[in-house]
Structure 1
Amino acid sequence: MRQSATEIVIATPGQGLHEITRDVVRWTGEQGMATGLLTVFCRHTSASLTIQENAAPEVRGDIVRWLSRLAPENGGYAHDDEGPDDMPAHLKSILTGVSLSIPLVGGRLALGTWQGIYLCEHRRAGHRRRVTLHLLGA
């Protein structure tokens, strides 16, 4: 059994789902493992991760709008130190989660045909987000 880990940095332009599949697949392939489990972990409380459809861009827009209805800005939150989009970003992060587990089978991540890995930026302004990748396998 082997393991390997790294951190990737994603510069987001602002709110939305930003696909990181290519970077994750590239790094995973470079590890030379055939079977294992990849953990993808977002090191932030106002951003998150999801696996979602990567064919129709409307899906990403619909998700952002749906999350905004669930956790609207100016919702009377006590925590507003960093602006009106901060507390809703924390709530959206709770809903979508900060870690993913993806099997590695035959040297490839076992993603479905239309599945992509996304960093969900919940803040309006762009940020530099850190995502840790940890692969355990053989």
Structure 2
Amino acid sequence: MTASPQDWRSLESFAFGDSPEMADRLLAFVLSGTKTATCWSIRDGQQTEVGKQMVVKDGAGRPRAVLETLSLEQVRFSDVSWDFAHAEGEGDRDLEDWRAGHRGYFARNGGYDPDMMLWCERFRLLQIVGEGAER
């Protein structure tokens, strides 16, 4: 089931990353189809569930896309697979690049530990909304 243009406005929303620039960069990866996964620290709580649809906002807070969670699992940072890092669609799309970027992100946002647990989500793009949507 996809979100219709009438009901996406009632969905919970979020932006990727920890800055407007990062939100825009990661959103661009989603819109291009290269980013189909994301993760966050367990300490930030379970923010979705399988089947949940959410609106992604750009760095200015504008709704841009509807995503649906396909899978969600807990994984230790040091155990994240190449396949998952590749699905995140960022940087060089290799595991070492993923680890370096995420190590920095987590250090800026509450602390990094190679044994920290993550929520690892895979999602699909259901609809582009707002700016850039087909009218």
Normalising TM by the smaller chain, what interval? Answer: under 0.3
Q: Relative contact order (C-alpha < 8 Å, sep 6+): which is higher?
A: 1
The structure where helix makes up a greater share of residues is 2
Larger Rg: 1
TM-score (norm 1): 0.27
TM-score normalised by the chain length of structure 2: 0.28
